[in-house]
Structures are given as structure tokens and as C-alpha cells.
């Protein structure tokens, strides 16, 4: 039985299990706050009410022990009701105590403000940190968002498809994590930076409406809103326009906020549309915080950033894609693309969704004709055999009757961090890594044995 259920069982005998949150000794009587995932409840320990085996445990019990209490639910007197506690109108008079597990003293107090504890320590003992109600609430909200998204997209005729984790290394912008193959010595898989190519291949396969809550991996320098592994809501649709995709996602975001965060207010519906040029001129960046009151944590200012340039210059003066090579230019610029003319002024079909100054998603209409993708790759410096080696599979797919299509990917960690009023995505990920991509709890990355390296045909150069 969960602790929260006991509030409706006054006068009845119950069995509850959980962690000892706190213990207060008052001579011949003691009080325990027992905690489970649903609530805390005050348990009264009186020797005269306990069986013989339990009496000796009264003095031994310590915080974070896991125990089972059999006891009688009693109403608290009006003057002792605790309005700040979900179970504040009742208490449980213990009849017996069973110790399910003892616990060493926690490395840090679980009721201490998280900002007063080293983050490295919190991550090293993450299983303790997750016992905090606010951390558990973050996980619950993440679950509820995932469930709402799945139900919404199911009603919109999407199907959820899982795509491979072991894939091919292709030049898509970020550095890949690579995985050696034991069966093909000297060859490597890559972990996916995103399911970008797979979702386009699903469109080639006639799936038409796909989504996935996908794990993605990028070997980049980390910061408070970036991790080496992260989660995307990924979706792709055939036979759609930019307007179709933005309208559907706007509808989903509004339903998500109204359902799970009714206390929050969306500043503007429909979401404002701001061109990339206007954003850069007015705000100096392409992820503006347009809140009218930036002190209000419950104000959500969504906006779309549109009309991105298709290409931008690298530090070396070469052309590169502004988002990814698979985004299509607006139709009126297709002729310039194919003629390699006026490159700097080609406008893409790219769109980003921004919330309170954070880019929480981005997508585009994709290039669905192989000759257009070849031209993009040529402009950014990929030619001949390199193109066929890295992108031959998707070029062949596009040449096989792939319909027009487009999509978007949300950064689920960033979205949840904003909605939960957290300053770092590490607060909304169950087991995140530090700023230097280290996991202090598992002590990873770590070395492997010589035998494992030999099996993979790898030697380490010191």
C-alpha cells in the first residue's frame, strides 16, 4: 500500500513500506517520518503498542533505513494537523516494525538545498540524489510528457518506429562517437547524432508519419544545456508543408502545457513568427527570449524562427550548411541552388521553435530529389567518391520515388528543464554526465583490458 492511500483509512490497520526520512526520540515515545514515492507520513512508536520483537528496534532505526510498518491509522487532533504535509491529517501508530534493509549514513543530507552540495558529489551518488522529491518530480513529469506525446501523435496517425543505435559515420556537423567492430577489424560503427537519415529513409519506405523518442549522441564539448547523450522527440511526415508541421507541433505544445502545467501561461497563441534576419538584428541571436516579464517563471514565450540562410561561411571561408545538409531551400531558390548562383542569399525551409531563450526544437522540409542533395554536398565541399561513400544509400533512396517530406526534432531535455524551472538539463536526466563528459558514479569512461583491445585489433598510443 502506498503512503498517500492511508489518508482515507482512519481506524484501519495498514501495512506501509518506505525509507526512514527522519526520526525524533522523545524518551519513551519516538516519531518517524516514513517516505515512499507518493508522500511522507508520521509514524508514532510507543513501546506499549509494539510487539516484543519491534520494541528493541526503536532505538536502532536510523535515517534511510528501509522498513515495513504495520500500524493503525489515526486522525490527528485539529491542533496537530500539518497543512504542509499531504498526510498531515493522520498519523500511524505502529504495531510492528520490520527492517528490510539498513543504510550507511548518506554522504550528504537529503534535505539539504542541492545548490549547497557539490554537483560532482550529487552525480557520484545519484541514487541518493534521486530520492529528493524535486528530482523524482522531474522524472515523473518527463514520463507524463512522453505519454502525452505518444497519445497525441497516435491520434494524429503517426507510428513509433525505433531506428538503429549502431550506424554509419557521416559528416553531419558534430563529432561522432565511434564503436569498433569485432567482426570487421578496422571498421567502425558510429552512434547516431540523430535519426535524421533513418527518418528520411522511412519516408522513402512509405511510412508517411513517423515519430520516435530517440537517444542521440554527439562528441561535443558539454555545457548546462548539452550532454554527450540526449533525448529527442523526432518526427517526420510525407506530403506536408512547413505550415503543416509548425501547426501540428504548436498544437501539441499547447496541449502539453495546458494539460501538465496548468499553472503556466503561454504569452502568445498562435506563436509569433520571427525571421532569422529580424532576430539577429533585434536580439543579436536566433533564439530570442521574448518574454514580457523575464522574472515570471510561469510565463512561457514560444516563437518560431524562420527564413534561415541555407548556407553560411566557415572560419576558413568555405561554405557549410547552416543546420544540416538535408534541408531543402525554399522553392523559389531551387534554381539558384542548382546553378550554384547567389549562394549567400538562398533561404532555407528550416524552422526552429524557441522557448524563453532556448532553442527547444528545429526542423525543415527535406531535399527529396537526389540531384538537389548532390548539389548541396558539392557546394559544401563533398564531391565524387566521398559523396557516394558517405551518402550513396540516401541518394539511391531519394532516386527511388521518395515523396516530398519534412519534420522536426525537439530537445526533450531542454524543454523539460525550462518547464521545470531548472537551470541545467542535468537536473532532468536520471543519470547525466559532468561538464567534461564524465560519469562519476560509474567511473566512465574507463580503460578496458588488453585482451578486449587485441580482439578488436586496437592498440592505444600513449
pLDDT at 173: 67
Backbone torsions φ then ψ of 67, nearest 5 degrees: -135, 160
- Give the residue carrying C-alpha cell 526533450: 412
pLDDT at 224 over 80: no
Residues forming a β-bridge with 41 = 34
Q: 3-101: CATH homologous superfamily?
A: Nucleic acid-binding proteins (2.40.50.140)
pLDDT at 318: 86
C-alpha cell at 33: 517520518
pTM: predicted TM-score of the whole model, two decimal places: 0.93
Contacts of residue 63, defined as CB under 8 A and 6 or more positions apart, other chains included, come to 19, 20, 21, 22, 23, 103, 105, 106
The burial class, CB within 10 Å (0-12 / 13-18 / 19+), for 131 is: middle
Q: Output the DSSP codes for 225-264.
A: TB-SEEEEEEEEEES--HHHHHHHHHHHHHHHHHHH-TT-
Domain at 131-428: CATH architecture: 2-Layer Sandwich (3.30)
**Taking CA 166 as the corner, what is the angle to CA 184 and CA 452, rounded to the nearest 5 degrees?**
50
- Give the residue carrying C-alpha cell 518506429: 161
pLDDT digits (tens, 9 = 90+) for 183-202: 999 999 999 999 999 999 99
The burial class, CB within 10 Å (0-12 / 13-18 / 19+), for 148 is: middle
pLDDT band at 462; cut points 50, 70, 90: confident
H helix or E strand, kind and range, residue 123: helix 119-124
pLDDT digits (tens, 9 = 90+) for 44-98: 999 999 999 999 899 899 999 999 999 999 999 999 999 999 999 999 999 999 9
| Residues found in the chain | 462
Average pLDDT over all residues of the chain: 95
Same fold, 3-101 and 131-428: no
H helix or E strand, kind and range, residue 281: helix 276-283
Q: Are 307 and 246 in contact (CB under 8 A)?
A: no
pLDDT at 221: 79
Inter-residue long-range contacts of 263-268, CB under 8 Å, 24+ positions, other chains counted? 263/298, 264/298, 264/299, 264/300, 264/419, 265/298, 265/299, 265/300, 266/300, 266/301, 266/302, 267/291, 267/292, 267/299, 267/300, 267/301, 267/302, 268/301, 268/302, 268/303
Residue 285 CA: distances (Å) to CA of 272, 277, 317, 322: 16, 9, 21, 14
pLDDT at 408: 98
pLDDT band at 331; cut points 50, 70, 90: very high
Q: What is residue 162's DSSP assignment?
A: -
Q: Domain spans of the chain?
A: 3-101, 131-428
Amino acid at each position: 500500500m502506498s503512503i498517500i492511500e492511508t489518508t482515507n483509512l482512519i481506524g484501519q490497520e495498514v501495512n506501509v513500506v518506505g525509507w526512514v526520512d527522519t526520526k525524533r526520540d522523545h524518551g519513551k515515545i519516538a516519531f518517524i517520518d516514513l517516505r515512499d514515492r507518493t508522500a511522507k507520513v508520521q509514524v508514532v512508536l510507543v513501546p506499549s503498542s509494539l510487539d516484543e520483537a519491534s520494541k528493541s528496534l526503536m532505538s536502532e532505526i536510523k535515517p534511510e533505513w528501509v522498513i515495513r510498518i504495520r500500524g493503525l491509522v489515526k486522525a490527528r487532533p485539529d491542533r496537530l494537523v500539518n497543512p504542509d504535509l499531504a498526510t498531515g491529517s493522520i498519523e500511524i501508530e505502529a504495531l510492528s516494525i520490520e527492517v528490510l534493509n539498513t543504510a550507511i549514513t548518506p554522504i550528504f543530507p537529503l534535505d539539504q538545498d542541492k545548490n549547497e552540495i557539490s554537483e560532482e558529489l550529487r552525480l557520484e551518488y545519484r541514487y541518493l540524489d534521486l530520492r529528493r522529491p524535486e528530482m523524482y518530480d522531474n522524472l515523473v513529469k518527463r514520463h507524463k510528457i512522453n505519454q502525452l506525446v505518444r497519445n497525441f501523435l497516435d491520434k494524429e496517425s503517426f507510428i513509433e518506429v525505433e531506428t538503429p543505435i549502431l550506424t554509419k559515420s557521416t559528416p553531419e556537423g558534430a563529432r561522432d562517437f565511434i564503436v569498433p567492430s569485432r567482426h570487421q577489424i578496422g571498421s567502425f560503427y558510429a552512434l547516431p547524432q540523430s535519426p535524421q537519415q533513418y527518418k528520411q529513409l522511412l519516408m522513402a519506405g512509405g511510412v508517411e508519419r513517423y515519430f520516435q523518442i530517440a537517444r542521440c549522441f554527439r562528441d561535443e564539448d558539454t555545457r548546462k544545456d548539452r550532454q554527450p547523450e540526449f533525448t529527442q522527440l523526432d518526427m517526420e511526415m510525407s506530403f506536408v508543408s512547413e505550415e503543416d508541421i509548425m501547426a501540428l507541433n504548436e498544437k501539441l505544445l499547447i496541449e502539453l502545457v495546458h494539460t501538465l502545467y496548468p499553472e503556466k501561461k503561454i504569452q502568445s497563441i498562435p506563436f509569433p513568427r520571427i525571421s532569422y534576419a529580424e532576430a539577429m538584428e533585434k536580439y543579436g541571436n536566433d533564439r530570442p527570449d521574448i518574454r514580457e516579464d523575464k522574472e515570471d517563471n510561469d510565463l512561457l514565450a514560444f516563437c518560431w524562427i524562420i527564413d534561415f540562410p541555407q548556407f553560411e561561411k566557415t572560419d576558413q571561408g568555405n561554405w557549410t550548411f547552416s543546420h544540416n545538409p538535408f534541408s531543402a531551400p525554399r522553392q523559389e531558390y531551387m534554381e539558384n541552388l542548382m546553378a550554384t548562383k547567389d549562394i549567400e542569399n538562398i533561404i532555407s525551409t528550416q524552422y526552429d521553435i524557441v522557448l524563453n531563450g532556448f532553442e527547444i526544437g528545429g526542423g525543415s522540409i527535406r531535399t527529396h530529389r537526389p540531384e538537389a542533395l548532390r548539389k548541396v554536398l558539392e557546394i559544401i565541399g563533398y564531391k565524387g567518391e566521398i559523396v557516394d561513400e558517405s551518402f550513396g544509400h540516401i541518394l539511391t533512396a531519394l532516386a527511388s520515388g521518395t515523396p516530398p517530406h519534412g519534420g522536426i526534432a525537439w530537445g526533450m531535455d531542454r524543454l523539460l528543464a525550462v518547464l521545470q524551472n531548472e537551470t541545467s538539463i542535468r537536473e532532468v536526466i536520471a543519470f547525466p554526465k559532468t561538464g567534461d563528459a564524465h560519469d562519476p558514479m560509474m567511473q566512465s569512461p574507463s580503460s578496458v583490458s588488453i585482451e578486449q583491445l587485441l580482439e578488436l585489433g586496437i592498440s592505444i598510443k600513449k
